[in-house]
Every structure is written in structure tokens, then in C-alpha cells.
Structure 1
Amino acid sequence: MDISILILLLCLLQASSLSSSETLDLLRGSSLSVEKPSDALVSANGEFSAGFFPVGDNAFCFSIWFTLSSARTVVWMANRDDPVDGKGSQLSLLKDGKLILTNSVGITIWATRTPVLTSFDASKLQLQLLNTGNLVLHSSDQSVVIWQSFDSPTDTLLPQQALTRVSSLISKKGEADYSSGYYKLYFDNDNVLRLLHQGITVSSLYWPAPWLDDLGKAGRSKYNTSRDGILNVTGYFQSSDHLAFQAADFGVLVPRRLTVDSDGNLRLYSLQETNEGRDWVVTWQALSITCQIHGICGPNSVCSYDHASGRKCSCLRGFKMEDPTDWSFGCMPEFNISCSHRNESSFVQLAYVEFYGSDIEAPSNRSLRSCEEQCLKYCDCKGFQFKFIADEGVNKCYPKFMLLNGRRTPNFEGDLYLRLPKAGLSHNNTPDNENSRLECSSEASKQVRKTYENKTVKLLLWFAIAVGGAEVTCVLLVLFFLFRTNRHSDPTEQGYLLTTRFRRFTFAEFRKATKGFSEVIGRGAGGTVYKGVLPDQRVCAIKRLNEANQGEAEFLAEVNIIGRLNHMNLIEIWGYCVEGKHRLLVYEYMEHGSLAENLTSNALDWEKRFEIAVGTAKGLAYLHEECLEWVLHCDVKPQNILLYSDHYQPKVADFGLSKLLNRSELDHSSFSKMRGTRGYMAPEWLYNLPITSKVDVYSYGIVLLEMVTGKSPTGMHSSNSGGAGEYTSVVKLVKEKINNNIASTSANESWIQAIIDPRMVGKYDSAKMELLVKVALQCVADDKDDRPTMNQVVEMLLRH
């Protein structure tokens, strides 16, 4: 055979083997590495790939995406809220048949809930990406499915993938932010498929229209029990509540996806040829008027739309944006209205502006004056909606205690009357107000010109004097800054704030310690945490706070207080950095990570959990009652309880949301906005009640229940009164289980068996676990006065 032909054949064989290696399944005992971009599973038809997808700077999520579109479109993520770093992380199919995702330090970030398999069954397992986009862990002959991604969708439903009573679609936060967002598509407990806005402060349903008493008008029905829906390959969707729709290109066989977008709209997309290549085209959407979507513009703001500029948000008169980068936080008032002086406020009419919900009451057939008086009776009344109902021939008055879901539409037959202080009625700072231009009369213009001419000569004389003075001032300023720079150049003077252990670092030092901020070990609302090594070889955790407008003096004052806290159950801060907009803190490194990471593993037996409960209580008690300043943590949750040593001792961390107050302060309600994490927040936050240390007690109680039951307060749980998969708070769930168990079992059996974490079944001290639950239920009392202090919690736990 000719040598050239032989070489050609060898090349073809090699190319064939390489291309097939991309579609190889993941077999038992093997893994995919984040450091190898080629480590990806590809469906046989080439439409889908599964591998590590970059979601940020040195942050990756294991994902499935479309490979045929001009830009990779993610349709599923395993760890969307907990990305792994880009070195050492891997997805592994263990020999026992479990699929796990670990980060660079070996901590399990995500794992499949699969049954324990025999060695014979596990030996036949493989992970395969099917042509449908479904990632399936099954036997080699495909007869037995152990786990599949279709059962746990993120924000997208693919053709042939069913949406069921136990699954939901949750939007991502933004176009480039893949973490869980504020919008959810799910089957509600009335068997109807709905869109829900899960806001920062409140939640509300908005599709189908919540004001519809008769769902039949929206083509829906409550009378079903199956709760399922499916999209087929032709572009037709049908669900058990009688919802049905089809794509504009129905019948054409093209790739499709049904997605809850970050703006809260549910859209059906088709992959079509465009001028820029193959791209997604919207072929159906749930809401054509996007301002009907709740939470788009946040509280105290109005959503408006026109075909030229599209949708936009604007603050109400007298309000300003709370976060200039995020409209979901809405607007905050620039005024105060006294409750004791009703005559100090009045109302401004905003035509065609509607705010849905949050009514104090809805009295009928009231005059406009009577409606004003009704609103003035309530201190928390922010304004009222007033409209004439033509069908009923009556006026409707809707006083509002919150201004949410606002929109301006010309066809709205009513107005909003906004409550403002009388002293501020002459000022209008609404961003899109067309009447905010200044106008002067001709007589006033003449007076201004005359005054200007009389002062011109004087101004010229003063200008000459000012120029000379400015030159002298500049010279003095230069000398001052040179002196100041030299004075602070001595590292022995500028390095330390309080003690020799609490040092001020430069940003360059932190960049070097973290190798360019390359190894992420944690993320939160306050910032990102990186692993680093200080010049003295101490391993540390460096938290880079999100950029804020906080001044240097304010930051240093807060750090100064936190630096003085010293307790074995509080994380130790070693130093800080403040340069320009950079704000960083350096902590001791905790090798076992957070309580949240360990609750999903088998590392924590009942003894460790009890000691973690005691240690955490001691740390919080010190914050509340023993330290130099009275400190509220405001975000107690498993993610902020870090563990160290072989005994998994706890340390409370992350005081980024703390409110620092003097012991002598009587008013502890001076918080500018809600703080904390959904599921762990006390009722005081939701009802605008005074904030005290009891908010931390409540959060601590939720953490105790999560430690005992293994159930997250924000998860989907089955209750005795509801169906499987319905949302029930962990507090309600525990109380129901206890009451039902006490009523139905003998005195020899403990109710703790009904609620204990399955990981601890048969391996726990019943008395200790019952004590944790009893203490927890006291901590989560609705009335803050019924909750114990953290010192009392410590005493209760140590007394037994």
C-alpha cells in the first residue's frame, strides 16, 4: 500500500476517534474536569452539550446548552447559585452510582439524590446526554433511569420535558447573572399554572390576571388533579388546567425552548436562520403588556411603555432610586410624614397611574374628599386609588399601605392620589415629568439682566484678586499633600488600626495573596470570598465587598468596631483594605466551609450538630449582650456559620448586614431597608415593626429546625394538609408533624422520629434533638416578646 494512503487512513481514524470521544458517555468511576474545556458530553445529533459553563470571573456551573445557536444558550444548570472555581473542580460518577460536583477543595457542591446501588447495578451505569437535551444517568442498556435533568429544570422547558406538580421554572437574575431570579412558573395549590413574583420584600401572582374571579375567562380550570404540562416538538403546549397555546411557526420542526426570562415574562422561542446566523426568535409570550409583570420597577415607582423607547421605570414624585444599578429595589422617600399631625400632608393626583394590591380596605361609593379622609386616618397610608366603576355606577376607593406594581396606562379609568408633605408639594422630582422646566416672565428677565449689568465691573475686579489667591492656595495645597504623603509612607505607622494583629493592607498585597483573585471559595449578597496566603504564610479568606458609595471614614468606623469583637465562636478579622472604591476584609480560613455545605453531607452526626447549635448561640449572645457595642447580625443562616477543627466547631461570620448600635440607644428600628435572607427573616421585617436583637433569635430558631430536620426553610415540603411538593414553611411542617404524631402514637414512641433528618435516623440522642426543637419553636414565636434572648437560649441548651 502506498505510504501516503496509509498516512491518510491513519489520520482519518484518529479524527474519527477524536470526534467520537466528544460524545462518549461518562462511565462509573470517571469524571469531567473544569480545567479541560474539551471535557464535555455532546448529544448524538450535535444539538446539545453538557460541561462546565463560565458564569463569571473564575466561576463555573455544570450546565447543558444549545450548541447550534450563534451564542451558547444554557437550558439547565446543576449549581446555578453556588458556582465552582476554575481549578480542581470536577463532576464525578462515583462507584456507588452517585453523581457529584466538587470544588477545588473537595467540598461537594451538588449531588444527585440516587438510591444506594449494589456493585453489580452500579457497574452498568453511565451518564449520557440524549438528543432531547436530557442528561440521563441510566443502565448501559437504558432500561433503568436512575436520575435525569428533565426532573429538575432551572428556567427552561424543552420539548418532551414535562412540567409537574413537583417541578418549576425559576428565572435567572439578569442576562449575565445565571443565579436564581425573582420569577417562578409553577402549579399552585389550586391546580392552576401561574407566574409568581418572589420579590425582595413581598411576593405576588400576576399571571393569569390575579383580579379574575372566574378563571374560565382566562381559559383555565381548577378542576383537575394531575398538574402537568408539556411542550411538543411542533410548538404546541398544553397543561392539565386547560392552558393551551402554539408557536407562531407551529408545525415546523425546529429547536425550541420555553423560558421564564429574567424580566418575568414566559416566552416560547424557536431557533431560526437570521442575518447574524442561527438565533432565537420569540414565537409566543404570556404577557404582551410587559408593565403588567409585577416587581419590574420595584416599590414606589411606575412602569410605562411606548413603542419608541420601550419599557421604562421612573420614581414617584418625592422619591429617589434606592439602588441606581437595580430597579427591582424601587425608590425610597425623600420626606417624612408625621403620624401625629395629619394636616401636614396632602395629596397629588397622578393621572392614569395604577398600583395593584396592598389595599388597607376598599370602601365603595365614597366621594373624593371622603377617600382622602379615609387615607389620613392611617399613619402608613401612602396614597389611594380612586376610580369610577361604570358597570356598578359607584366610586371605588383603595387606600394603599404600600405602593407596589405601579404602571401608567392611558386606558386605566382611575387615578392615584399620592400622599406627600405639604411643604414639598411645590417640588417635583419625577424623572419623566414634562412640566419640570423652569419658566420666567419677561418682567423677571429684565430685572435679572439689570442686576447682572450692575455687578459686571465688581465681578471683574474680584476675578483678578481670586486668580492671585488661587495661585497661592495651590502652592500651599501641594506642600500639604507632599507632607501628608511622606508622613504616611512609613509602613510602621500606616499598617495597623487597633492592635498588631489587625492590619491595613494595600490592594496590591491582596491581589498577590489571592494570585489575582483566582480561587473563589464563597459568594454572597455582600461580596465574593477568595482563598489567599498572607506574607507570613497564614492561609486566609479575603472578602471583596461589592462596590458601594460608602465613604472611607464610615467604612473604617464599622471595621474598627468589628475588629474589637473577640469570641471563640466569632470569625476573627485579621485586617482590611480601603483604596478608592475597593473595600476588602481578611479573615481566618475555615477549612470545613459553612454549615450549609455540611448539612447535605454525612459529616455532621447529632453530637456535632448539637455542639454547633450551642457554639452559635454563644457567639450571638456575645454580639447582643456582652461586646463593646450592641450588634445585630441581621443575616443568621447556615451559610454564615463556618466550621473548623476536627470537631467542626462553629464560628459566626459575615457581619456585612450588621446594624451597629450603642447600648444606650432606645430606638432600634432605624433600618433603611430590609436585611437578611428569605426564609430566615423575622416577621418584624415584613410588617415594618421595630427591629431588635430578637430578629437574630428568630433566624437562629429557623437554623436549629433546619439542622434537626435537614429541610431548608425556602424549599418545597409536603405537609399533612397539602399535597406533595406544595410550599409549607419548615415551622408549620414541624408543628404539624409533632401534633399528628402525639395524637396517633403511643407514649413510648418519640415524635422526634417523624421530623428527624434521614441522615441521622437511628443514630441520635432523642432527648438532645427534642431539646433543640423545643428551643427552636420558642425562638420562632411570631411575637418577639415571646422569644427568649440568646443568653437564655444558651442557658436552656446547657442546662440539660
Structure 2
Amino acid sequence: MAEFKTPTAKRVGKAEGSNGTPKIVIPPSPLMKQLGYGTGVNVYLMERFSPMHGSYKSPWAVKKRNRMINDEDGEYSKRLNVEANLLKTMSHPNIIGFRSYTVQIDGAPCLAMESGDQSLENLIEKREEADLGPFLSTQILKVARDIACGLQYLHEEKKLLHGDLKSGNILIQGNFKAAKLCDFGVSLKLNEKGVLCDPAQCYVGTECWSAPEVFEDDVITQKTDMFSFGLVLWEMLTLHAPHVDKLNPDFSSTELSESVLSDSLQEEEYLKALGTRPSLPDTPLTEDYLPVLEIFYACTEADPAKRPTAAKILQVLDSILEEKENTKGVGGDRKFLEMLHEDL
């Protein structure tokens, strides 16, 4: 008679995706709510239910290649893969969190990330439609501090240029509880001096938010991100994208999201405005907007050497906040704003 052995349960390991991360099953696009879109991709909200606990878990944002876009050369799929590999290495409160990456049966890549409530771009559009005027100075400075913090991490620790900074690539959680950078598909590597490692690399970005050196084929540095940073503050003041006032009023947001606009939009006045500091509207602003204006002007200097770093912006904003707390919000801005131009 054969010896009896107690049955043992077999351990089933988690399947892994192409990036060595736990493989997930992504629902078909029509079953998910679309959150937004970018060049060649769509972003959806993926609800996650836990049968074990009988409750929903935190939702994920899923980025998938737009099947309506021709991707014969695999460029958009490559960007998703690059973004997944970058996000896996990053951990910062102002950078969107990586969750998983997988390739579906049909070969379509899917990147799952922490979900933000909505993009800054969406908030700007809603505020403009409601005719509410500029965001509160406190809201703008909160976004400025969070994004400067995220950029400092990218530039100094990860040695990366975001490469496409704009309101559409900033996620806002709650009532401005936190702002987070997202979309790293066209990010570029920087050297120790904050200069592009490989000058042959192509800066993609989005025209309206690009710095003058992009159009002049000049050296790309971390200060290129800072020009775009300044224009994001401008967006929160004016409630529209930079330079679009020069375009045909019939342009669509889809056309604007593309790096290269269609021939119908190539108006001379618009093209001349690209890479320049847009003028501010005639809307009167109170004194509490002074820090916002100073930072906007400093970051949109034509000469990159005159623009502050993300670390400098962070230092100035923290100093202003500390001073306001010590003086109950009275004065204190001017002397700290002078710090923007130190060491330049």
C-alpha cells in the first residue's frame, strides 16, 4: 500500500506584464469612462472592485493608445513603454504614481496609474465657461509650489526634463489638495549641468507652451521646463491656452493638442507669437497676485539663464508662506520675490 501524503496547495504566482509588474486585465475601452486624451492616446477611469472585501478600491487611470491614430512606426506604443519604465523608478507626492503596465492580446500597451480627480486643464475650462475670472491667488500659488516641487525632483534627482509641461499634464486632487505631474512619454535625459544629454534628441512638447530655444534650435536645458511652468500660471490667470487668441476662433481642442497644427491654423501672427511671453489681460488683479505675476515674468524670460530653477521657485514660495504665517498675512512678499533673481 502506497504511503499516504497530505495534499499540499500549489502556490500560484502572479502573472507578470512585459515590464515585470503584476499583469492586470484591462476592461474594453467602451466599458470605462474616458477622462481625457493626449497625442495618440486616450485616458480612462478603471473602477476596481474587491470581491474579498465587498467594496471598491481606489480607481486607476488607464492610458491606452488611440486606435483611430495610425501608429505604423510604433511611436505612440514606444512612448507608453518609455513612460511606464520612467514612472516605475519614481516616487514623489507631486508625481503621478505608477500602478501597472501590460500588453493586451492584440499587442496594445496599457499603462495603469494613480487616478487624479481631474486635470488642471479641465478645471480651467469649467471656470472659463462659468465666467468666474482668474483662480484665487492661493490656488495658483498652491499649484505653483506643488509643480515646482515635482520639477525639482525631476531635474535634480532623476535628471529628467518633463518635456511637455502644460495644464493638461497636471492633475488636481480634491479642492487643490495636491497637484501632480503626469505624462512622461516625451521626457528627455539631462546631464549633471541640467542640459540635454544627447543634443540629437528631439524635443516634442506642445507648441503653445514651448520656450524660445525650442524654435531657435538652441540648447535645451531644465530651464526649458521653467518657461512652460510660467505659462501654466498664466493659464490660471487668463483661463485659456497661450497664444490661442491669435488663432482662428473655429479651431478645435483636438487640433490644439497636436504638436503640429493643421495648415488651416498656421496663421502668421500665431507662429510669430510662439516662444514669446504672452501679454496679460486687462483684468484688474489685487496685490495678493503679486507673487504669481513676479514668478510668471521671471520664468518666461527669453534668456534661459535669467529664468529661476524649480528649486529657487520652491525656496521663494516657502519663504513667502512662512513670512505670511509669522506676520498674519500682512506684507512680506517683495523682499522674497527679489530672491527670484539671485544667483542668476
Shorter-chain-normalised TM-score: which range? 0.5 to 0.7
Amino acid paired to 1:784: P
Does the residue aligned with 1:542 lie in a helix, a strand or coil?
Answer: strand
* Preserved CA contact (<8 Å) 1:669 1:690: no
Query: Which of 780, 789, 793 is equivalent to 2:300?
Result: 780
Q: Which residue of 2 aligns with 1:528?
A: 42
TM-score by structure 1 length?
Answer: 0.31
Give, in whole Å, the separation in 1 of the partners of 2:142 and 2:244: 25
Q: Distance in 1 between matches of 2:39 and 2:291?
A: 33
* Corresponding position: 1:703 with 2:232: yes
Distance in 2 between residues matched to 1:755 and 1:641, nearest whole Å: 25
Alpha carbons 1:614, 1:797 under 8 Å: kept: yes
Number of equivalenced pairs: 268
1:608 aligns with 2:133: no
Residues 530 and 551 of structure 1: is their aligned pair in 2 closer, same or farther, counting only changes over 3 Å?
A: closer
Alignment partner of 1:766 is 2:287: yes
**Equivalent position amino acid for 1:639 in 2:** G
The aligned runs of 1:357-372 (5 Å cut-off) are none
Point out which structure has higher relative CO (alpha carbons under 8 A, 6+ apart): 2
Query: Quick check: 1:792 aligned with 2:312?
Result: yes
User: Hey, which of these two has a bigger chunk of helix by percent?
Assistant: 2
Does the 8 A contact of 2:242 with 2:278 survive in 1? no
Shift of the 563–526 alpha-carbon distance from structure 1 to 2, 3 Å rule, reads farther
Cα distance 1:564–1:780, how it changes in 2: closer, same or farther (>3 A)?
A: same
SS of 1:511's equivalent in the other structure is coil
Q: Secondary structure at the match of 1:539?
A: strand
Displacement of 1:653 after TM fit?
Answer: 1.0
For structure 2, which runs of at least 5 residues remain unmatched after alignment?
A: 1-10, 51-56, 247-268, 321-344
Q: In 2, distance between residues paired with 1:530 and 1:558? A: 17
Q: Is the 8 A contact 2:43 2:62 kept in 1?
A: yes
User: Once the two structures are superposed, what CA deviation does each residue of 1:363-416 show, in whole Å capped at 9, x if it has no partner?
Assistant: xxxxxxxxxxxxxxxxxxxxxxxxxxxxxxxxxxxxxxxxxxxxxxxxxxxxxx
- Cα distance between partner residues in 2 of 1:716 and 1:551: 30
Q: Which of 123, 138, 142 pairs up with 1:598?
A: 123
Q: How far apart in 2 are the matches of 1:704 and 1:539?
A: 29
Name the structure 2 match of 1:510: 26
Counterpart-to-counterpart distance in 1, 2:170 and 2:76: 28
Q: How far did 1:582 drift? A: 1.3
3-state secondary structure, aligned to 2:14 = helix
Whole-angstrom CA distance in 2 between matches of 1:520 and 1:715: 25
SS at match of 1:634: coil
CA distance, structure 2, for counterparts of residue 585 and residue 528 of structure 1 = 11
Structure 1 segment 183-262 matched on structure 2, within 5 A:
none
- Structure 1 stretches lacking a partner, 5+ long: 1-488, 718-725, 738-753
**How far is the alpha carbon of 1:658 from its aligned partner?**
1.1
Aligned 8 A contact 2:213 2:220 in 1:
yes
Counterpart-to-counterpart distance in 2, 1:788 and 1:611: 18
Q: Per the alignment, in what secondary structure is the counterpart of residue 295 of structure 2?
A: helix
- Partner Cα distance (2:141, 2:149) in 1: 13
Matched residue SS, 1:584: strand
Name the CA shift for 1:782/1:654 in 2 (closer, same or farther; >3 Å).
Answer: same
CA contact (8 A) 2:96 2:181 kept: yes
Q: Report which of the two structures shows the higher radius of gyration computed on alpha carbons.
A: 1
Structure with greater strand share of residues = 1
Return the match for 2:99 from 574, 578, 598: 574
Counterpart residue identity of residue 587, structure 1: M
Q: Relative to 1, partners in 2 of residues 1:687 and 1:570: Cα closer, same or farther, differing over 3 Å?
A: same
3-state SS, counterpart of residue 86 of structure 2: helix
Which residue matches 2:61? 541
Q: 1:557 to 1:686 in 2, by over 3 A?
A: closer
Distance in 1 separating the partners of 2:318 and 2:58: 34
Corresponding position of 1:418: none
| C-alpha distance in structure 1 between counterparts of 2:180 and 2:76, whole Å | 29
Query: 554, 561, 580: which is aligned to 2:86?
Result: 561
Distance, in Å, in 2 between the alignment partners of 1:678 and 1:551 is 18
Quick check: 1:492 aligned with 2:14? yes
497 and 676 in structure 1: CA distance in 2 versus 1, 3 angstrom threshold: closer
Q: Give the fraction of aligned pairs with identical amino acids, expressed as a percent.
A: 25
Q: Deviations over 1:548-586 (max 9, x none)?
A: 526999975652332121111111121111346412111
CA distance in 1, matches of 2:229, 2:287: 21
Q: How far has the Cα of 1:681 moved from its partner?
A: 0.3
Q: Any idea what the Cα deviations from partners look like across 1:321-371, whole Å, max 9, x if unmatched?
A: xxxxxxxxxxxxxxxxxxxxxxxxxxxxxxxxxxxxxxxxxxxxxxxxxxx
User: Which of the residues 583, 587, 596 maps onto 2:113?
Assistant: 587
Q: 1:567 to 1:644 in 2, by over 3 A?
A: same
Task: Report the alpha carbon displacement of residue 635 of structure 1 after superposing the two structures with TM.
Answer: 0.7
Paired with 1:523 and 1:773, the residues of 2 have a C-alpha distance of 30
| Counterparts in 2 of 1:493 and 1:522: CA distance versus 1, 3 Å | closer
1:372 equivalent in structure 2: none
